[in-house]
Structure 1
């Protein structure tokens, strides 16, 4: 098992990326280098930064990669909202991606908080 596979945040971000790739396959060709590319890059980045951070030395460095993952998730949240408001995603698609996005974001925040606790200095007596 790869180091990143033990994290629920990775699994949920990976599932989110798969969903985003599937749903954006039907976006208009005019959006190939716009919203399609942006959504896919943000979804990929969320998972990929967990992968990369998981092999770094120490919780502080891993947390830096989780911070990037969280920023990518925030970006993706806006991209899917915009796609929905432009009628590129219907209500069901938006709800499906939105639920996956929420789950991935919560899990990644949880992992970030866990790494933060590991890097907090303990008071000395």
Structure 2
């Protein structure tokens, strides 16, 4: 059975991939002592967003797909919290914080609207 949605064509998935790439670039500047701490947590959350979107597209119903989108949204909020911590402890500049905060909030909004559209079917 073919998936109802092609994850590679979903803008939200593409945004998630960009978030993951920017997360890896950003965490490279963190202290080496954070390799298994905040860096790893942010990377895992960032990868979780597009991964859950992709996995959700394989599900046979919108109800099941929604569960994966909820997980992706949860990871996005978790990632935002880790971003705030990174900024507040001085790992990233205000400029980078603002750029990434805007990006994650856009993704959260897109996920929420996508979930609402699937719920209304």
Q: Could you say whether these structures have the same fold, taking a TM-score greater than 0.5 normalized by the shorter chain as the test?
A: yes
**Paired residue for 1:29?**
32
CA distance in 2, matches of 1:100, 1:33: 24
Alignment RMSD (CA, Å)? 1.1
Query: For each residue in 1:38-92, what CA deviation from the matched residue of structure 2 results, as whole angstroms up to 9, or x when unmatched?
Result: 0000011011000100111110000000000000001001000000000001111
CA drift of 1:6 comes to 2.1
Query: For each residue in 1:68-118, what CA deviation from the matched residue of structure 2 results, as whole angstroms up to 9, or x when unmatched?
Result: 000000100100000000000111110111111111111111111111112
| More contact order relative to length (CA 8 Å, sep ≥ 6) | 1
**Paired residue for 1:70?**
73
Does 2:54 match 1:47? no
Misfit runs of 4+, over 3 Å? none
Q: State the aligned residue count.
A: 117
CA distance in 2, matches of 1:8, 1:116: 19
5+ residue gaps, structure 1, are 119-125
What SS does structure 2 have at the residue aligned with 1:52?
helix
**Paired residue for 1:115?**
118
5+ residue gaps, structure 2, are none
- Of residues 8, 13, 17, the one that matches 1:10 is 13
